[in-house]
Structure 1
């Protein structure tokens, strides 16, 4: 980094300034019209794997009620259910909320998400509920109030039903010391991916139609890729973090995970906007109008190099197939490259480690209560010097501007990369295999995701099919800050002509509650 005096805009505050300027340039917010769900035959609808939009359609026609859906889903949350490790704590009042939603539909006063149940990652507060951040450090903590995002979803009629497992403080280590790991519903010998482990397992196994997650290095997108789901890490500051445990405050994002991009498009506008409490929130709401038709004529930038170097052939085949789908939809594929991404990746770790060590400094005299993975990351947090951390913050606005400049020069609307370089890691040795070469999972998982937490650009993960081992792989769409609508529009267009997001593990449809014995 150049010494001062320098003409470069490389103070940490320049990143905030750039985002404010981009939000102002994006124009006033346009409130998106409600998506029109496709016609749903409730008799043929499998409630356990239905999407948000399908359930809403069935509710509106009166062929299903929220209470009836709850009656189907609740047995799946039990200890003998299809994904028991995903479910941590029950949330009170769900039956009363469902009954109220039933009445609202009868009266024609239903709200946008009326009666849709959802799971909440265990770092996001739900009032009067056990919320532990997956740690022994927190004891039996009862959250004093709803997080802003939960308050907003409740106001839209959605019903939080249970707290979903996370890695400790969302750090991303698979072996949680308090609750244990969350196996992947596609293969119980594999990991679900972190840190939104329970949110992903609950979705894939048919426990809820959507879930809340958080993303600091890929924690929404990683489990989405490994479990065949669709999840979005919104623009940094689009969704307030009030009431969400902080891991790395300049990289933390909160967002939804679901079974389709259309569901995400219905959810995100109801979660977005400043709350007057989160100092990192944007000053207004950008245009979130969805238009899948814009894929025709869209210019999609495809960076290779860093993003494809550590990818298995099966991942690259699915990625190339996705490119052909977008070409078939009328998009133009444009080659684009970015400089110095390995160094940027290292800088992002310095931010992550430094801020983690800061947020957990008060627990240093109780390190024995942390699990091994969190302790290892805390050790890394105490190694870099203050200047290393501050250099990473100074570099951030330069990296953001570099990416914007390259996107502008190539005149691309979005970027498309492979999701993760391999299918889900093994739980027994925490490894992933890329073309026969075995890697520690941390050498593969964050390569394509962490950059977008560091820079704050919106990024969406969508299913792209199954690898030969029968496990899901994904693709990732990235847009300029505050242009989340482009990621969503492109993904909806892609999913309209593919069926990858409809693929679910057998346990999602084959599990049935055990019959009581005489």
Structure 2
């Protein structure tokens, strides 16, 4: 495996001494002058006498950092300290309603206009495949042709896996002819965000320094989908090192309005799924990169509970915050894909063996639902009218959501330290080598600059931020313990930050179009390890509305 070489835990990167070194040394020697200057960066001040006593100690620390860097460690190695999202007194949800199989009907017919296939949900495509109304090869070629036609316009694809896909499609057609049907994903094409390794193909992480990188292993989630009969057709754009929608080849476009970007770093997955270039895709989220592009591109995106889906073979940005999830046409498709990719993986120590519990026939009126009353009333986005309309729809469905409020006495401004510290550790060598300077974006808010400034975060502050994170986990549990689902705006409030820190699952679902004919959405938050409840409510909402069936014009 051709992984980058980085130090092991690397929290030492954040120690104050690195501040001292950055501010002034003489041939690797920590000077009293550098110590004194460094104090301004970390908001602390020692007397001259104390600085005298520190000098030798800090020089010894510097020697330790140099020693760590002599021992390369592969990217898949997590820190010895693992994040645990479970609050005190939390009860693991019951798994009595676990879905093991999905029904595939024989009633779906081929459309007269083949382009309509592009916006079929998974069960409809599965029916066509299983009943041999279209071959796996035919469906795969159909989506490959669409990718070739529209990707240049949307700048959403980094690598087509065409040879792999066609060979796989022929194999699955042969299996079907022999009576072997793998299940609902048999012969269904899909794409993945190009943070996920696929043997034999580049894994670029969307960034100039890695655009020729090959990791000769396949990510666990891709293996799961392949085993279920899925056909990988494309590695889709990740914003550079999982930031935004700008990558080394351009800026991924929103198919509803190509003058606009596609949103967070799973931009390619959002854009391609929205435009019908793939039936579904996988994305990753650390701080909004599934929910944001799903919302902005008018699709449905599930960000699972932290640890429910393996990240083996997936680029790390923040070991304690990264999640992998499906981006699909609707909630049922998300449930199908999630049921296949979730579960324990010995190659990812953060994963759990808690099964997926989902009963689509459960009466939604039995769900205990809350809503963020203040956040919705204060919403200033163009989607507010559609959000209020959605609340009315929930009430017509027999649901009476109760008002709740997010925690306020929390140091939200300090939590970004966690993501920035961990990303700085993972990309330690990129910064020290200077290759960070060749990334496309170099402005103040770019990933390149974020990685540089991470070197100036002391370990003490990183750990203090995580102590406050534990308090936030307990506060959020006190809100969620009495409810199954929490209704929230998708943008403009603290929900996105909180749930990414606490590990709660969310699903972003479309709520129509605003006055500029751009998609709007809302977010449903669930309890830890209980994706089933938010998927259930989302599915029933989509059964009584048609927002999930809208798609951008010009891609027929």
Question: TM-score range, shorter-chain basis?
Answer: 0.7 to 0.9
Match of 1:75 among 139, 142, 145: 145
8 Å Cα contact 1:300-1:414 kept in structure 2:
yes
The correspondence of residues 13-92 of structure 1 with structure 2, limited to 5 A, is: 16=84, 18=86, 22=90, 24=92, 26-27=94-95, 30-36=98-104, 39-44=107-112, 46-78=116-148, 81=151, 83-91=153-161, 92=163
Q: CA RMSD in A?
A: 2.3
Whole-Å separation in 1 of the counterparts to 2:365 and 2:340: 27
Give the match's secondary structure for 1:163. Answer: strand
Give the match's secondary structure for 1:296. Answer: helix
Question: Corresponding residue for 2:36?
Answer: none
Question: Corresponding residue for 1:456?
Answer: 503
Question: Corresponding residue for 2:196?
Answer: 124
Bigger Cα displacement from structure 2, 50-59 vs 379-388? 379-388
Question: Corresponding residue for 2:25?
Answer: none
Cα 1:13–1:307 shift into 2, 3 Å? farther
Cα 1:485–1:106 shift into 2, 3 Å? same
Question: Corresponding residue for 1:330?
Answer: 398
Question: Corresponding residue for 2:483?
Answer: 412
Structure 1, unpaired ranges of 5+: 1-11, 422-445, 510-518
Cα 1:381–1:293 shift into 2, 3 Å? same
Question: Corresponding residue for 1:277?
Answer: 347
Does residue 225 of structure 2 align to residue 156 of structure 1? no
Deviation string 1:275-295 (CA, Å, 9 cap, x unpaired) is: 10111111x133422325431
Bigger Rg over Cα: 2
The correspondence of residues 162-177 of structure 1 with structure 2, limited to 5 A, is: 162-172=234-244, 174-176=245-247
Q: Deviation at 1:342? A: 6.4
Match of 1:182 among 252, 269, 290: 252
Whole-Å separation in 2 of the counterparts to 1:311 and 1:131: 39
8 Å Cα contact 2:192-2:269 kept in structure 1:
yes
Cα 1:485–1:135 shift into 2, 3 Å? same
8 Å Cα contact 1:292-1:493 kept in structure 2:
no
Q: Deviation at 1:240? A: 0.6
Give the match's secondary structure for 2:366. Answer: coil
Q: Deviation at 1:175? A: 3.1
Question: Corresponding residue for 1:343?
Answer: 411
Whole-Å separation in 2 of the counterparts to 1:147 and 1:168: 19
Question: Corresponding residue for 2:419?
Answer: 352
Deviation string 1:381-427 (CA, Å, 9 cap, x unpaired) is: 2343322211221122221221121233xx32110111224xxxxxx
Does residue 530 of structure 2 align to residue 483 of structure 1? yes
Deviation string 1:434-489 (CA, Å, 9 cap, x unpaired) is: xxxxxxxxxxxx84423211110001001010000000010101111000001111
TM-score normalised by the chain length of structure 2: 0.79
Q: Deviation at 1:19? A: 6.5
8 Å Cα contact 1:32-1:289 kept in structure 2:
no
Match of 1:268 among 338, 341, 349: 338
Question: Corresponding residue for 2:387?
Answer: 319
Q: Deviation at 1:61? A: 2.1
Deviation string 1:24-77 (CA, Å, 9 cap, x unpaired) is: 454578343314569422134611111111100111222222111122222222
Give the match's secondary structure for 1:506. Answer: coil
Cα 1:380–1:307 shift into 2, 3 Å? farther
Q: Deviation at 1:249? A: 0.9
Cα 1:81–1:233 shift into 2, 3 Å? closer
Bigger Cα displacement from structure 2, 145-154 vs 54-63? 54-63
8 Å Cα contact 1:354-1:381 kept in structure 2:
yes
Does residue 204 of structure 2 align to residue 137 of structure 1? no
Cα 1:37–1:105 shift into 2, 3 Å? same
Does residue 164 of structure 2 align to residue 93 of structure 1? yes
Whole-Å separation in 1 of the counterparts to 2:402 and 2:106: 33
Give the match's secondary structure for 2:533. Answer: helix
Cα 1:255–1:80 shift into 2, 3 Å? closer
Match of 2:306 among 212, 226, 236: 236
Whole-Å separation in 2 of the counterparts to 1:198 and 1:23: 37
